[in-house]
């Protein structure tokens, strides 16, 4: 079965399984230790996902949660691929009388990335990512999500080859048009400055905007290997805080060999005044084995990093222990519509820095629900 046939089959079974992503999350709540996502936070996730289609689980979705003492800041991130039932859901909802601005923005980007000869699709592919910051105390459904485009790996590399700035401009034009912002030449130059500060081995991995914020482009930069690569980039890009806090975090982990086999990323907002002070430091596994054996089989490659995070006191040991148990690869789930396989793995860790201190340390995990292979004839 081809990849396209597989995800179509997954989407169809998920539509038979339940009416919303919220109901689906409620069904799999038992997969998560309450140490990782407490009941109130889980209720917030279910409310947030209640207005979203269950077909979103046919593709990897992210859940993020705090691993330090903080109890706030649960995240839900979902992927929309062109041509899927999930994409059609947003495109159809845009035509409703009560369609919200975020839905219009999402549908606009899906329309721009749809044609195979689209300039935007050449730069970012046909995927749109939605990131929901979940307020566990909210009584409402999903708030406006942060909308992200994920450039195809070589298109916005830091080698600054001919055409790279034009490709960046294509993505920025699409994003600002989608969220209804007026073009801002000063902000554009600041984003270009941040891009030009990258070294040749790094790249822009994400371009985002929050429609309700009124302005400011989010940039995710990836591909750093050494701490000095990160701090040098932040200095060149004009990050307004001292880089010692970043250097300290990474040097402490590096001292414990916790950064062996990882690569680093940073995320910040860029406005007309330059790079904003809030910073997210991302740590990803550099292991490539899962590319050949399945992306859910890399559990052991996080052991050194989690051990270092624990020993440095960056996270609650019991939470890290539960996270290690959770990332087991694949689990069977018997739903109303038939059997599923739930694929689970750690995706990355994130240090959220505010006012030159660590505000949160978060774990981000992948979930993907696939129809389980069935042998023999149906018994109807």
- DSSP code per residue over 125-186: TTEEEEEEEE-TT--SSPPPPEEEE---TTTTBTT--TTHHHHHHHHHHHHHHHHTPPP-HH
* Interval 184-223: pLDDT, tens: 999 999 999 999 999 999 999 999 998 877 779 999 999 9
Whether the pTM exceeds 0.75: the reply is yes
Q: Which residue has the tokens 């222990």?
A: 321
**The pLDDT value given to residue 375:** 54
Dist CA 194 CA 275 (whole Å): 8
Q: Is the pLDDT of residue 296 over 50?
A: no
Strand ranges in the chain using DSSP code E only, listed in sequence order: 61-66, 74-81, 127-134, 146-149, 203-209, 217-224, 262-271, 274-275, 279-285, 329-335, 338-354, 357-371
Q: Count CA within 13 A, CB hemisphere, residue 128.
A: 31
Question: What average pLDDT does range 280-299 have in this prediction?
Answer: 62
| Bigger pLDDT: 189 vs 292 | 189
Dist CA 265 CA 205 (whole Å): 9
Three-state SS sequence of 287-304: CCCHHHHCCCCCHHHHHH
> For the chain, what is the largest distance between any 2 Cα atoms, rounded to a whole number of angstroms?
66
* Interval 77-132: pLDDT, tens: 999 999 999 999 999 998 887 778 899 999 999 999 999 999 999 999 999 999 99
């Amino acid at each position: 079965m081809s990849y396209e046939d597989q995800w179509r089959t997954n989407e169809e079974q998920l539509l038979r399984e339940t009416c919303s992503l919220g109901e689906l999350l409620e069904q799999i709540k038992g997969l998560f230790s309450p140490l990782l996502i407490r009941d109130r936070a889980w209720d917030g996730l279910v409310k947030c996902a209640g207005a979203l289609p269950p077909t979103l689980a046919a593709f990897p979705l992210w859940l993020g949660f705090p691993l330090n003492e903080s109890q706030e800041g649960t995240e839900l991130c979902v992927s929309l691929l062109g041509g899927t039932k999930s994409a059609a859901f947003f495109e159809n909802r845009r035509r409703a009388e009560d369609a919200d601005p975020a839905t219009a923005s999402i549908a606009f980007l899906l329309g721009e990335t749809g044609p195979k000869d689209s300039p935007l699709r050449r730069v970012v592919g046909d995927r749109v990512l939605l990131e929901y910051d979940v307020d566990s105390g909210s009584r409402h459904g999903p708030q406006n999500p942060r909308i992200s485009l994920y450039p195809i790996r070589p298109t916005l590399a830091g080698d600054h080859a001919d055409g790279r700035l034009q490709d960046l401009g294509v993505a920025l034009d699409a994003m600002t048009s989608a969220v209804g912002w007026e073009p801002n030449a000063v902000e554009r130059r600041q984003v270009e400055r941040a891009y030009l500060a990258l070294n040749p081995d790094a790249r822009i991995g994400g371009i985002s905007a929050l429609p309700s914020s009124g302005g400011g482009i989010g940039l995710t930069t990836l591909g750093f290997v050494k701490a000095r690569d990160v701090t040098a980039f932040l200095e060149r890009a004009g990050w307004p805080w001292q880089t010692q806090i970043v250097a300290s975090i990474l040097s402490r982990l590096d001292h414990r060999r916790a950064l062996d086999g990882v690569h680093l990323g940073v995320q910040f907002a860029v406005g007309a005044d330059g790079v904003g002070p809030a910073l997210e430091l991302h740590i990803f596994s550099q292991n490539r084995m899962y590319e050949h054996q399945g992306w859910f089989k890399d559990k052991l490659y996080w052991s050194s990093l989690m051990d270092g995070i624990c020993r440095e006191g960056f996270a609650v040991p019991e939470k890290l222990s539960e996270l290690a148990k959770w990332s087991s690869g694949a689990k069977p789930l018997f739903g109303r519509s038939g059997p599923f396989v739930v694929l689970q793995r750690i995706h990355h860790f994130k240090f959220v820095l505010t006012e030159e201190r660590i505000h949160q340390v978060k774990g981000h995990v992948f979930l993907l629900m696939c129809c389980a292979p069935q042998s023999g004839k149906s018994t109807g």
